[in-house]
Amino acid sequence: MSKCLLTVFAAVPAVLIILPLVITLTNSLMSEAEINYSYFSTLTKNLRSGANPDALYHGIKLIPNLATINQYYQVLIHKTQYHFLFWNSVGVVVPIVAGQIAVASMAAYAFAKISFKGRNALFFIYIVVMMMPYQVTLVPNYIIANLLALLDDTMSIILPGVFSAFGVFLLRQYMISIPDAYCESGVVDGANSLQIFLKIVLPMSKAGIASLAILVFIDNWNMVEQPLIFLTDHTKTMLSVYLSTINNNERGIAFAASSISMAPMLLVFLYGENYLVDGIRLSGLKA
């Protein structure tokens, strides 16, 4: 009986979480006319009739009467703007992921395996910075980007993303779980700190690095504030910004573009799900 109750309690939030995804996918297969009729015609009619607010969306369908891929044709073939924005997003997110892994892994190794004066105090500062909302550091980042003449350049987004405190925190927690005996055996064999890092610690941190790559990719693929503020040239903006600028006459295209935009994140997550779970689980073994 208890297992059935736990299953029900787990199923309800799971359905609520996955419902927006299902709505996006099914509506992307509807025609523009069906979307307008199903949602906005019904809503307008109920509002004009003074219906109960709880019943305003009565009659909305999630399953299309006649499935069509015309929305996908418009996004992938007819509207070439989508392709440019997609590769703009790739050109920003991939360097952030690669750069943050490189920087965070080296910094995490220093915090986890090398003793130096002020190590704990410096790591505490990292944690404080990590806990700050992005909006708090947005103005300082803008000022620095302006001083470096990086405004309207993708480097104004890439550099803050590369030097993020989150990656250092996650990998540091993971590397602490690696027994010091491995590093000590490397010292006995005559290896220096760089060799220990490259040949012992880094290979043993693959799960942590993979989980970091997945989390950083998903987080930055959906960024909106940074390109809106740092990039004024519309040819350099990202796909996530494009989705918010689709007008009311292209609701079907908005659903199709959103579905395609989710595809890279879903593929990355499904491919690295085991690494993500292991990396997060092992990174919390020691504080």
Final residue in a domain of this structure, among 68, 97, 112: 68
Instruction: Give CA separation, 2 vs 5, 8, 9, 14, 16, in Å.
Output: 5, 10, 11, 18, 22
* Cβ within 8 Å of residue 1, ≥6 positions away: none
pLDDT above 70 (res 208): yes
The reply to whether 237 and 157 lie within a common domain is yes
pLDDT for 46: 52
Whole-number Å distance between alpha carbons of 213 and 170: 11
Residue 222: CATH number of its domain? 1.10.3720.10
What's the pLDDT tens digit per position in 228-285?
888 888 788 888 888 777 766 677 788 888 888 888 888 888 887 777 776 666 655 4
**Amino acid making up residue 71:** Q
What's the pLDDT tens digit per position in 130-180?
888 877 888 888 899 889 888 888 899 999 999 988 899 889 988 888 888
Residue 66 CA neighbour count, 13 Å, CB half:
5
Distance of CA 5 to the CA centre of its chain: 33
Q: Is the dihedral of CA 206, 277, 103, 189 positive or negative?
A: negative
The reply to whether 104 and 230 lie within a common domain is yes
The reply to whether 111 and 222 lie within a common domain is yes
The reply to whether 38 and 154 lie within a common domain is no
The reply to whether 105 and 223 lie within a common domain is yes
Query: Taking the CB of residue 243, how many other CB atoms lie within 10 A of it?
Result: 17
pLDDT for 56: 47
Confidence of residue 7 (pLDDT cuts 50, 70, 90): confident
The reply to whether 103 and 211 lie within a common domain is yes
> 173 and 107 in contact (C-beta within 8 Å)?
no
Whole-number Å distance between alpha carbons of 220 and 199: 30
The reply to whether 224 and 83 lie within a common domain is yes
* Cβ within 8 Å of residue 79, ≥6 positions away: 253
Distance of CA 282 to the CA centre of its chain: 21
pLDDT for 248: 61
> 196 and 183 in contact (C-beta within 8 Å)?
yes
The reply to whether 151 and 208 lie within a common domain is yes
Structural domains in the chain (count): 2
pLDDT for 259: 86
Mean predicted lDDT score pLDDT of the chain = 81
Backbone angles phi, psi at 225, to 5 degrees: -60, -45
Confidence of residue 286 (pLDDT cuts 50, 70, 90): very low
Final residue in a domain of this structure, among 52, 68, 84: 68
Average of per-residue pLDDT across 62-73: 80
More confident residue, 112 or 51: 112
Residue 245 CA neighbour count, 13 Å, CB half:
12
**Domain span holding position 108:** 76-283
Q: Is the dihedral of CA 108, 111, 115, 118 positive or negative?
A: positive
Q: 214: exposed, middle or buried (C-beta count within 10 Å: 0-12, 13-18, 19+)?
A: buried
Average of per-residue pLDDT across 50-61: 52
Whole-number Å distance between alpha carbons of 267 and 78: 25
Task: Kindly report the pTM of this predicted structure.
Answer: 0.81
Average of per-residue pLDDT across 202-214: 88
